[in-house]
């Protein structure tokens, strides 16, 4: 065993060889041994499964790392990956070692860079490499045996060859390129310089909505493809960015583009993934999961809307595709372009400190003016004078400012569209009895159930528990129970009552549940069949509505005073994005406007919004973060625990904290007291969390690595008085706190 260890350590990527001599004439890069080889294989098992990093299997021939295999695992046969390993795998006696069931080498092995990316992601996000690496493969691929895989690969080669024969490269006529603005041209010059470098600087492309970031992505991708390399373009949600996808498809007519996201059928996803991994696809357009695509010729990663929360996986391995993109680009010498109108403060600060190169597109293309921002001070409006529909609860703040109603009417009269935006779906967030004070709580969560008027239900948006609305108050029998507050459904109803001549449509999670519903509704907006579009943040993102002249944000104040320190950053990004929906058509008759209904018109956030001044907003936020010791000036992880009782969850976290503080690696790491989540109970499960913080990322990482085995042990303890939790998880660089 000793010999094996030193042998294996001499090279990074080599199957574990046992006691057998290496053939003298081995082809370069591949270890060939004369008889049986022992290979290290990753299987999909959580780290808590108490398994070693890799498992040892016997193979009849040496296998390169990155080859897909099928192996016996317990009583099942599962997919595995031969893994580069410089440490001996689990110490199994040769007699007990099992044979690899099947080698699926119909596809070239995943390369060393890919293995390194997955290894890094697992280590950084504190998961097992097997779990994260196998999950990065399309589910269909994990089911296939050698014959089926070889067959798929053959068919794919054939299909791409046939396509190439039908439309040879250069035969299709891609759409003509629009002329570049001065700042686009300057950005392209800098990007060309970066592309020529062996290890290009990461680029932050900061451009307001409508400033033509997409054109820069397109030209950059073109330059990369011309060098014979592959481009990966990440978008937050494919469904919300159909125009971007369309523009890439048009511009790269004749090039081989594939999409990679969770909305594909298993067969489509496998096809796209294989096309990327085989090097057949030149350009991959995808969501966060595409960061793990095998791309043997990777030359560019674009992360569009890099600040978007959807780049962070919220369960399982909680990775950030944006952060992994930066790491992967650096490792593989690929250019990384992070684009946004409102970059994350982490990214902005890295540009401030010179780690990233900032390129700015300050003006909108085609001289389209930025909408004028108008703040409506709700405090100054007399409560009784505002046009609210029936069913108003006494003492509630006025609902819609008359100025906004008038502005909507005027826009409609001149044939312009408006977007009214409220980030809460349903009719009303809660029903209340005016006599006894009963409110429509969820019996399974610490949250109110939302009143949906269309089907007269009370629905919990956390656990989905749904019941018909009671005829009378369940506590006192009073038949007069009334909605309190307002969601998009009620807003739509109010607008219809106030503006009977307007054609109103609503887009939110409730109206777009059916497949194709979102596309149909967006189609109606684009066709001009809608005067006023009511919606949640779904409509604020991505869509290129050319005829919208007015955007109104109704009561966005709730985020101003949230306990989550990132809430203002998210609100500012959302409002800037919503504002960007207006006035994209420079030929519009009236200057475009964004109205904001607020109780805090003097808040610095709204003042910065009024000046469209992201830089000022970012500077003030960063100053606050620095003085409070918050990211990006510190590094965070959160340990979350779920249990049947709050006491159990708290006890687990308290025990974990005690172990954590006693670790040698805990120096310079602060462990805070456990606190319940904002919505503490969901579906009868209590949820608590505990913040872990350090000014040094490596120190935090070292502490987490040392801590994890103890957490496993703590969770496994089933003794008398031991805290019993259902689940626990670590979230590194959490987005929500
Ligand atoms: Zn009552
Ligand atoms: Zn619930």
pLDDT tens column, 106-151? 999 999 999 999 999 999 999 999 999 999 999 999 999 999 999 9
Instruction: Give the pLDDT score at 105.
Output: 92
Of 511, 512, 501, 505, nearest in space to 491 by CA:
505
Instruction: Give the pLDDT score at 609.
Output: 93
Q: Which of 298-307, 542-551, 621-630, 648-657 has the lowest mean pLDDT?
A: 542-551
Cα Rg for the chain, rounded, in angstroms? Answer: 28
Rounded to an integer, the average pLDDT of 74-92 is 79
Where does the pLDDT of residue 694 fall: very low under 50, low under 70, confident under 90, or very high at 90 and above?
Answer: very high
d(CA 550, CA 417) in angstroms, rounded, equals 7
Take residue 312 and report the two structure tokens written for it: 């962070």
Of 337, 91, 308, nearest in space to 206 by CA:
337
Ligand nearest, relative to CA of residue 441:
2
Phi/psi of residue 727, nearest 5 degrees: -145, 155
Where does the pLDDT of residue 86 fall: very low under 50, low under 70, confident under 90, or very high at 90 and above?
Answer: low
Give the Cβ contact number of residue 464 at 10 Å: 10
How does pLDDT run across 589-639, given as a tens digit for each residue? 578 899 999 999 999 999 999 998 999 999 999 999 999 999 999 999 999
3-class secondary structure, 39 = strand
**Inter-residue contact 181 to 296 (CB < 8 Å):** no
Instruction: Give the pLDDT score at 168.
Output: 64
The larger pLDDT score, comparing residue 368 to residue 229, is at 229
Give the Cβ contact number of residue 30 at 10 Å: 14
d(CA 306, CA 205) in angstroms, rounded, equals 10
Å from CA of 156 to ligand 2 middle: 46
**Inter-residue contact 71 to 39 (CB < 8 Å):** no
Q: Which domains are present in the chain?
A: 2-111+118-135 (no CATH), 148-366 (3.40.50.300), 368-425+486-625 (3.40.50.300), 428-485 (no CATH), 635-732 (3.30.70)
pLDDT above 90 covers what percent of the chain? 65
Helices 266-277 & 146-166 angle (0-180, nearest 10) = 70
Ligand nearest, relative to CA of residue 434:
1
> CB under 8 Å to 331, separation ≥6 — which residues?
113, 116, 117
Where does the pLDDT of residue 22 fall: very low under 50, low under 70, confident under 90, or very high at 90 and above?
Answer: very low
Rounded to an integer, the average pLDDT of 547-574 is 89
> CB under 8 Å to 355, separation ≥6 — which residues?
202
The larger pLDDT score, comparing residue 574 to residue 89, is at 574
Instruction: Give the pLDDT score at 19.
Output: 32
Q: Which of 23-37, 479-493, 560-574 has the lowest mean pLDDT?
A: 23-37
Å from CA of 92 to ligand 1 middle: 68
Where does the pLDDT of residue 89 fall: very low under 50, low under 70, confident under 90, or very high at 90 and above?
Answer: low
Residue 21 pLDDT > 50, yes or no? no
Å from CA of 117 to ligand 1 middle: 58
Å from CA of 386 to ligand 1 middle: 28
Residues with Cβ–ion distance below 5 A, ligand 1 = 433, 435-436, 438, 473, 475-476, 478
Where does the pLDDT of residue 365 fall: very low under 50, low under 70, confident under 90, or very high at 90 and above?
Answer: confident
The larger pLDDT score, comparing residue 492 to residue 386, is at 492
Helices 345-352 & 614-628 angle (0-180, nearest 10) = 90
Of 40, 22, 39, 20, nearest in space to 31 by CA:
22
Helices 646-662 & 697-716 angle (0-180, nearest 10) = 130
**Inter-residue contact 167 to 174 (CB < 8 Å):** no
Instruction: Give the pLDDT score at 687.
Output: 95
Rounded to an integer, the average pLDDT of 522-529 is 89
Strand order through the sheet with 257-260: 257-260, 283-286, 230-234, 298-304, 335-340, 203-207, 357-361
Å from CA of 181 to ligand 1 middle: 64
Q: Which of 505-509, 560-564, 612-616 has the lowest mean pLDDT?
A: 560-564
The larger pLDDT score, comparing residue 606 to residue 367, is at 606
Å from CA of 647 to ligand 2 middle: 20
Where does the pLDDT of residue 382 fall: very low under 50, low under 70, confident under 90, or very high at 90 and above?
Answer: low
- The structure's pTM equals 0.88
Å from CA of 396 to ligand 1 middle: 19
Instruction: Give the pLDDT score at 92.
Output: 65
Instruction: Give the pLDDT score at 399.
Output: 77
How does pLDDT run across 147-186, given as a tens digit for each residue? 999 999 999 999 999 888 887 655 666 678 899 999 999 9
Å from CA of 644 to ligand 2 middle: 15
Ligand nearest, relative to CA of residue 684:
2
> CB under 8 Å to 518, separation ≥6 — which residues?
239, 507, 512, 538
Average pLDDT of the chain to the nearest whole number: 87
Instruction: Give the pLDDT score at 474.
Output: 94
Ligand nearest, relative to CA of residue 458:
2
Take residue 265 and report the two structure tokens written for it: 């059928």
Residue 281 pLDDT > 50, yes or no? yes
Of 209, 211, 268, nearest in space to 238 by CA:
268
Å from CA of 458 to ligand 2 middle: 10
d(CA 200, CA 333) in angstroms, rounded, equals 7
Instruction: Give the pLDDT score at 541.
Output: 72
Å from CA of 690 to ligand 2 middle: 23
Instruction: Give the pLDDT score at 391.
Output: 37
Residue 480 pLDDT > 50, yes or no? yes
**Inter-residue contact 368 to 586 (CB < 8 Å):** yes
Of 495, 539, 490, 507, nearest in space to 407 by CA:
495
How does pLDDT run across 445-456, given as a tens digit for each residue? 999 999 999 999
Å from CA of 447 to ligand 1 middle: 19
Å from CA of 461 to ligand 1 middle: 23
Ligand nearest, relative to CA of residue 438:
1
Phi/psi of residue 671, nearest 5 degrees: -110, 120
């Amino acid at each position: 065993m000793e010999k094996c260890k030193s042998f294996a350590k001499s090279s990074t990527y080599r199957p574990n060889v046992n006691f057998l001599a290496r053939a003298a004439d081995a082809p370069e890069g591949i270890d060939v041994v004369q008889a049986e080889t022992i290979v290290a294989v990753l299987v999909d098992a959580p780290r808590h499964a108490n398994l070693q990093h890799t498992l040892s299997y016997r193979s009849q021939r040496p296998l390169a790392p990155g080859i897909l295999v099928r192996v016996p695992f317990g009583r099942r046969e599962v997919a595995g990956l031969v893994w580069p390993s410089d440490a001996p795998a689990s110490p199994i006696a040769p007699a007990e070692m099992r044979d690899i069931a099947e080698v699926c080498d119909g596809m070239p092995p995943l390369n060393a860079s890919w293995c390194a990316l997955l290894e890094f992601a697992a280590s950084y996000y504190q998961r097992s490499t097997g779990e994260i690496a196998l999950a990065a493969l399309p589910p269909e691929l994990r089911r296939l045996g050698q014959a089926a895989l070889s067959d798929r690969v053959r068919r794919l080669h054939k299909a791409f060859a046939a396509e190439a024969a039908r439309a040879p490269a250069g035969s299709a006529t891609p759409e003509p390129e629009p002329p570049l603005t001065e700042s686009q041209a300057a950005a392209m010059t800098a990007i060309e310089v970066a592309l020529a470098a062996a290890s290009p600087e990461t680029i932050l492309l900061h451009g307001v909505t409508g400033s033509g970031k997409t054109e820069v992505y397109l030209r950059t991708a073109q330059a990369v493809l011309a060098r014979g390399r592959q481009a990966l373009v990440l978008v937050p949600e494919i469904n919300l960015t159909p125009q971007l996808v369309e523009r890439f498809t048009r511009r790269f007519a004749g090039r081989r583009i594939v999409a990679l996201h969770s909305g594909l059928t298993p067969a489509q996803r496998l096809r796209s993934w294989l096309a990327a991994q085989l090097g057949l696809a030149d350009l991959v357009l995808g969501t966060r999961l595409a960061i793990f695509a095998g791309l043997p010729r990777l030359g560019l990663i674009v992360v569009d809307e890099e600040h978007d929360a959807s780049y962070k996986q919220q369960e399982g391995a909680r990775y950030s595709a944006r952060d992994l993109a930066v790491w992967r680009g650096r490792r593989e010498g690929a250019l990384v372009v992070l684009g946004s109108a409102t970059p994350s403060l982490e990214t902005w600060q890295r540009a401030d400190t010179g780690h990233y190169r900032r390129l700015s597109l300050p003006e909108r293309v085609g001289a389209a003016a930025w909408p004028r921002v108008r703040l409506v001070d709700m405090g100054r409006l007399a409560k009784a004078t505002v046009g609210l529909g029936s069913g108003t609860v006494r003492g509630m703040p006025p609902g819609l400012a008359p100025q906004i109603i008038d502005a909507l009417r005027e826009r409609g009269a001149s044939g312009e569209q408006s977007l009214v935006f409220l980030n809460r779906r349903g009719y009303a967030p809660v029903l209340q009895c005016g006599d006894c004070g009963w409110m429509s709580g969820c019996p399974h969560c610490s949250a109110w159930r939302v009143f949906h008027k269309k089907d007269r239900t009370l629905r919990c948006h956390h656990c989905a528990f749904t019941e018909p609305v009671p005829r009378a108050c369940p506590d006192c029998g009073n038949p007069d129970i009334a909605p309190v507050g307002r969601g998009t459904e009620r807003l739509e109803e109010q607008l219809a009552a106030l503006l009977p001549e307007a054609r109103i449509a609503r887009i939110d999670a409730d109206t777009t549940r059916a497949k194709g519903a979102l596309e149909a509704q967006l189609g109606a907006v684009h066709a001009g069949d809608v005067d006023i579009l009511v919606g949640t943040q779904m409509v604020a993102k991505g869509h290129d509505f050319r005829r919208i002249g007015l955007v109104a944000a109704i009561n966005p104040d709730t985020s101003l005073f949230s306990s989550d320190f990132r809430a203002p950053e998210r609100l500012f990004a959302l409002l800037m994005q919503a504002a960007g929906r207006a006035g994209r058509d420079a030929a519009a008759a009236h200057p475009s406007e964004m109205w904001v209904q607020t109780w805090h018109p003097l808040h610095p956030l709204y003042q910065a919004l009024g000046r469209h001044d992201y830089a000022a907003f970012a500077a003030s936020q960063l100053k606050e973060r620095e003085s409070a010791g918050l990211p990006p000036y510190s590094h965070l992880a959160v340990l979350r625990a779920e249990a049947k009782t709050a006491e159990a969850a708290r006890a687990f976290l308290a025990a974990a904290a005690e172990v954590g503080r006693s670790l040698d690696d805990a120096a310079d790491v602060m462990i805070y007291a456990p606190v319940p989540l904002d919505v503490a109970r969901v579906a009868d499960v209590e949820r608590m969390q505990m913040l872990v913080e350090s000014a040094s990322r490596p120190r935090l990482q070292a502490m987490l690595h040392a801590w994890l085995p103890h957490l496993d042990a703590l969770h496994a303890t089933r003794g008398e008085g031991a805290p019993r939790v259902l689940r626990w998880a670590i979230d590194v660089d959490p987005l929500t706190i």
